[in-house]
Amino acid sequence: NAGVTQTPKFQVLKTGQSMTLQCAQDMNHNSMYWYRQDPGMGLRLIYYSASEGTTDKGEVPNGYNVSRLNKREFSLRLESAAPSQTSVYFCASRPGGRAFNQPQHFGDGTRLSIL
Amino acid sequence: KNEVEQSPQNLTAQEGEFITINCSYSVGISALHWLQQHPGGGIVSLFMLSSGKKKHGRLIATINIQEKHSSLHITASHPRDSAVYICAVRYSNTGNQFYFGTGTSLTVIP
C-alpha cells in the first residue's frame, strides 16, 4: 500500500546544478501537487496538475518546471539550483474530478540542500 | 490576499487535557483540511470538511462558515498526539489550490 512515493529522500546540490524530484502515486488520483515547506511558513504550492496532460503554476513557481508524465507520475525539475531553493519538498495527490471534497495524500518529503 | 491564520502557534498540555486548535481564514471557502505532521516530517490527512462537524476517535473538527473559523479538538490528549497540526483551505475562487496555515506545534507531556 505505497500511496505517494517520492525520490530521493535527501539530496545535496551545488549552486547551478540541476535535479529532478520524482513523485508517483498508485491510487489512480487525477490531481497531483508539488509543495515546498520552509521554517516558519506554511506549505506553499509550486505547481499542480489537475489531470493528466495539464499543469498550472501555484504561488511560488519561479525556478521550477514540472512534467505530468502520465497519470501516476509528476516530476519537479530545478534547472539551475539556488540556495533559496533549500527546502523540504512534498508531493501530494487527491482524486480530483467529481470527488471534490476528498483530501490530499502526501509523500514523505524530499529534504534538499543547495550549497 | 488569501490568508490562513492558526492559533496558538505552540501549545504544551498535560496528558489527559482537552485541546483546542483554531484556524481562521479571510474569504469564502469550498473546503477546509486538517492535517497532522509527525516529528519525522510525514503529513497525514485528519479531516476534510465544508460544513458542520466531523469526529474520528478522540479528534473532532468543527467549522463555522459564517464566522470563517474552524477548530480541531483533541479529547483525553496523549503524548503520541504530539505533532504539528496544519489547517489548509481551498477558497471558492481558487479551484484546485489549497492555502496552508503555519501550523500549531503541540507537545503533550506525560
Phi, then psi, of B93 in degrees rounded to 5: -105, 15
Q: What does the pLDDT read at residue A85?
A: 97
Helix (H, G, I), strand (E, B) or coil at B27: coil
Mean pLDDT on A17-32: 95
B1 vs A107, residue with greater confidence: A107
Tell me the DSSP string of A48-112: EESSTT--EE-S--TTEEEEE-SSSBEEEEESS--GGG-EEEEEEEE-BTTBTTPPPEE---EEE
**What pLDDT does residue B106 have?**
97
Task: State the residue for C-alpha cell 469550498.
Answer: B30
Does residue B45 sit at the A interface (CB-CB below 8 Å)? yes
Q: What is the pLDDT of residue A1?
A: 61
Cα dihedral value A35, B38, A111, B31, nearest 10 = 0
**Inter-chain CB proximity A102 and B33 less than 8 Å:** no
Question: For residue B30, what pLDDT is reported?
Answer: 86
Contacts of A50 in chain B (CB under 8 A): 95-96
Q: pLDDT for A31-62, tens place per residue?
A: 999 999 998 888 999 999 998 889 999 999 99
Shortest CB distance from B48 goes to which of A92, A102, A111? A102
Q: Are A21 and A75 in contact (CB under 8 A)?
A: yes
| Of residues A42, A108, A109, nearest to B100 (C-beta) | A42
**Cβ atoms of residues B21 and B72 within 8 Å:** yes
pLDDT in tens, B10-55: 999 999 999 999 999 988 888 999 999 998 789 999 999 989 999 9
| pLDDT (0 to 100) of residue A98 | 63
For residue B96, pLDDT over 80 is answered with no
Residues 2-31 of A with CB under 8 A from B: 31
Q: Answer yes or no: do A100 and B103 touch at CB < 8 A.
A: no
- Which of residues 49 through 88 in chain A touch B, CB cutoff 8 A? 50, 56, 58, 88
Q: Tell me how far CA of residue A25 lies from CA of A7, B11, B70, in angstroms.
A: 12, 34, 30
Average per-residue pLDDT for chain B? 92
Q: Which of B43, B102, B103 is opposite residue A106, by nearest beta carbon?
A: B43
Using DSSP bridges, classify how beta strands B10-14 and B104-109 pair: parallel, antiparallel or unpaired. Answer: parallel
Q: How far is CA B87 from CA A37, A80, B66, B68, in A?
A: 14, 32, 18, 13
**Is residue B87 predicted with pLDDT exceeding 90?**
yes
Q: Which of A13-17, A80-84, A99-103, B68-72 has the lowest mean pLDDT?
A: A99-103
Instruction: Name residue A19's beta-bridge partners.
Output: A78
